[in-house]
Amino acid sequence: MKEYNADAIRNIAFIGHGGSGKTTISEILLFTSGEINRIGKVEEGNTTSDFNANEIEKRISIAASTLHLEWNATKINILDTPGFPDFIGQVISSLHVADLAVSVIKSFEGIEVGTEQTWEYVRKYKLPAAVIINKVDNEHSKFFETIAQAKTRLSHDITVVSFPVKEGLNFNSVIDLVKMKMITYADAGSKKFTEEDIPADLKAHADKLREVLVEKIAEANEEFMNKFFEEGALSDEEIQKGLKTSILSGGLIPAFAFAATKGVGQNTLLDFAVKYFPAPNEREPIEASMKDGGKKVKLACDVKGEPALLIFKSLSEQHVGELSIFKVYSGSLSPGLDLQNTHRDKIERLGQIYVLNGHNRKDITKLNAGDIGAVVKLKDSHTGDTLSSKNFTILLPEIQYPEPVIRFAVKPKAKGDEDKISAALHTAHEEEPTLRTKFDPEISQTVVSGQGELQLNLGIKLLKDRYGVEVELVEPRIPYRETIKGKCEDSEYKHKKQSGGRGQYGHVHLKLEPMPRGSGYEFVDDIVGGVVPGRFIPAVEKGLKEIMTKGILTGSKVVDVKVSLFDGTYHAVDSDEVSFKIAASMAFRKGFMESKPMLLEPIYDINVKIPDKYMGDVMGDISGRRGKIQNMDSENSFQIIKAKVPLAELHKYSTQLRSLTSGRGMFSMSFSHYEEVPKETETKVIEEYQKHKEEEAE
């Protein structure tokens, strides 16, 4: 396999709404370049990108696929990302390593939910970008209307570089505004096209759009701007230089007319990508941190630098094996090279290195800075890890994934599968980092969380398909807290048991009083005169801690209580630690119920972003969830609602929000604090707990 230097590499990520045609575009580009010899179709389940069984079955991309092709002696790495919002983590990790994002938009439906959501990350990462208006061959295509919508809702810098001669079913030609030629494409499978002068009836329109493009190019350079205003034009050489500069700076976002299924527009895109999309060494150096001391260093994309790579994806398939997919940020890599995993302080030896097209892989003997490749599963390296030279141990910037917005508890259908479940969920997390799992000892459940129900259901399907373990997803218990509002001046309990021989005897008097919220627990030894010998005091405290962990009302942890041991008696023979432990826990239980006990529930901050027209419905829904609106703000055509909502009311909220907003609502959530549960709700929670306890006893 050929070796490429950074200036001959382009790393692009296709992003956008599901069904916009990202996978089909990838397929036609691979075919046109000769990388594959037949054009696969999503509906037939034979595309290069979507090779996972779930992707083939559901006809959607679930994981980002790593692809590559060569065009005009330049290697183009393509990351084909999912459009479904549950898999936004795959988009984020791809954009983290891409040098340019290409947003794919349907010409007849315009800007959709996934378009806006993924574009948010283009803004966040300040990535150079391009736009493909796809499916211009649809009978309802509205190319220029979609361009206008994109300029309003995505960026005013979107500028047409190719437009359709005719839209709809007869679409087969584009006007290339850089070459100022009409490109006409034959059937997709023929790879044939012709290049002609622009027809007379389109010349005026083309000239007008060319002038807009040239003016946009001139904006990126003061010298060009002055010349443009003085002479009204730039030379071809200046246009070419200005195009590259303005795309790199983000001042110009080129837009292309395309029909992936008919094979119209791909040569224009490929030629443009090679000439004007940024190479990895043309972008600003990455700011890394030294492993020791954390000193910031600028890491240039230089083949002569010390080797450094970032694993941005892991892949585990039966016919592929376990692979770590990475981008080389500095230096060059060859099989057998030893690198240090700076996250885990482990030395890893690289095995065979590959470049991928979906699940197809080719051996490569050397991979240089700026390129993307894969290595057979390393010993102890994972998604997000940096591997670097032992002479230059650095940490590359981490991939920032969103917090989960939905959570379920995992309930095994058969006993004894816990270890298998744990291993399987770990594998699922490796492949999909936004799918998280942890055992929560407070509620005694394994909780999986992520970005949506489909993502979690596919994670559970993995358990069955790959590990033969069946589980169901159930609503997780809420980690309530128990505390008191009042005082109990004296809660006495005497534990006395005589059954022949040595008996049991422990006798305590406790005082219970509330503490400020968040204080936790305090134990005070107020014994005077040794009425309870010092050797039994630790047993008293142990008994208190145990009962407070188990809870009284709902089996939830007791917090914010001060307990004072101020009196008691003991027996010289029968008293022991167990007796005082039991006496303390029983005295606490009694005193707790006399101290105006109450439940506390976790309250979460939610940040909801919705289009204006859904404001009333969403606010009404939040109020119905016992939510309290804290703040409202606007951002373009969106409203941002900040509210505090009990966790108990947020189960499946992401699904409901999508339903209320036709999929356009987004939200994030984070823990805020605990507060008192309303009496009516508290009674219901306690009753449900008692009922569940009785059922378990049966």
2: confidence class by pLDDT, cuts 50, 70, 90: confident
C-alpha 79/C-alpha 98 separation (Å) is 8
Rounded to whole angstroms, the Cα distance separating 194 from 165 reads 14
Task: Pick 600-681's CATH classification: 3.40.190.290, 3.30.70.240, 3.30.9.10, 3.90.1150.10.
Answer: 3.30.70.240
Q: How confident is the model at residue 61 (pLDDT cuts 50, 70, 90)?
A: confident
Per-residue pLDDT, 385:
95
CB 171 within 8 A of CB 262: yes
pLDDT mean over 326-353: 94
For tokens 């970032």, the residue is 310
- Average of per-residue pLDDT across 620-642: 91
Report the chain's terminal Cα–Cα distance, integer Å.
67
Region of poorest pLDDT, from 63-77, 172-186, 454-468, 664-678 = 454-468
Distances in Å between the Cα of 635 and the Cα atoms of 117, 608, 611, 639 are 14, 12, 9, 6
Q: Domains of the chain: which residue ranges? A: 6-198+251-282, 292-395, 409-474, 482-595, 600-681
Question: Is the pLDDT at 320 greater than 60, yes or no?
Answer: no
Which superfamily does 292-395 belong to?
Translation factors (2.40.30.10)
Residues in CB range of 695: below 8 A, 6 or more apart: none
pLDDT at 426 over 60: yes
Decide if pLDDT at 671 tops 90. Answer: yes
Q: Which of left, alpha, beta for 180 (phi over 0: left; psi -120 to 50: alpha)?
A: left
Task: State pTM to two decimals.
Answer: 0.87
**Mean pLDDT, residues 421-429 taken together:** 81
- Specify the pLDDT at position 322: 80
pLDDT band at 222 (very low <50, low <70, confident <90, very high): confident
Parallel, antiparallel or unpaired: strands 372-376 and 193-196: unpaired
How confident is the model over 556-561, as a mean pLDDT?
95
Q: What is the pLDDT of residue 156?
A: 95
* DSSP letters for 336-350: T-EEEETTTTEEEE-
Max mean pLDDT range (415-424, 458-467, 582-591): 582-591
Q: What are the tens digits of pLDDT across the range 161-219?
A: 999 999 999 999 999 999 999 999 999 888 999 999 999 999 999 999 999 998 888 88
Q: Which residues contact 448 (CB under 8 A, 6 or more apart)?
A: 407, 408, 409, 410, 425, 435, 436, 437, 456, 459, 460, 473
What class is the 409-474 domain? alpha beta
Give the model confidence (pLDDT) of 119-169 as tens digits. 999 999 999 999 999 999 999 999 999 999 999 999 999 999 999 999 999
pLDDT band at 250; cut points 50, 70, 90: very high
3-class secondary-structure state, position 134 = strand
Rounded Cα gap, residues 277 and 266, in angstroms: 15
Break the chain down into helix, strand, coil percent, rounded to 5.
30, 35, 35
Q: How confident is the model at residue 47 (pLDDT cuts 50, 70, 90)?
A: confident
pLDDT of res. 272: 97
Residue whose structure tokens are 């939200």: 667
Lowest average pLDDT, out of 184-198, 368-382, 416-430, 507-521, goes to: 416-430
pLDDT > 90 in the chain, percent: 69
What CATH number should be reported for the domain whose range is 482-595?
Answer: 3.30.230.10
Fold held by 6-198+251-282: Rossmann fold (3.40.50)
Q: How high is the pLDDT of residue 70? A: 97
Give residue 560's pLDDT.
96
Q: How far apart are CA 430 and CA 66, in angstroms?
A: 16
pLDDT level of residue 698 (50, 70, 90 thresholds): low
DSSP string, 271-302: HHHHHHSPPGGGSPPEEEEETTT--EEEE---
Q: For 614-629, what is the mean pLDDT?
A: 94
Q: Share the mean pLDDT of the chain.
A: 91
Read off the tokens for 509: 């008097």
Amino acid sitting at position 211 = E
Q: What is the mean pLDDT of residues 320-337?
A: 91
Q: Per-residue pLDDT for 99 more than 90?
A: yes
> Which residues, other chains included, contact 67 with Cβ-Cβ below 8 Å and sequence gap of 6+?
26, 30, 35, 48, 49, 77, 78, 79, 80, 356, 357, 358
CA distance 339 to 333: 10
Q: Please report the pLDDT score of residue 682 as a whole number.
A: 93
Identity at 393, one-letter amino acid code:
T
Whether 409-474 shares its CATH topology with 600-681 is answered yes
Residues 513-524, mean pLDDT to the nearest whole number: 93
pLDDT tens track for 566-575: 999 999 889 9
Can you tell me which residue has the tokens 């910031």?
A: 296
Residue 282 predicted with pLDDT over 90: yes
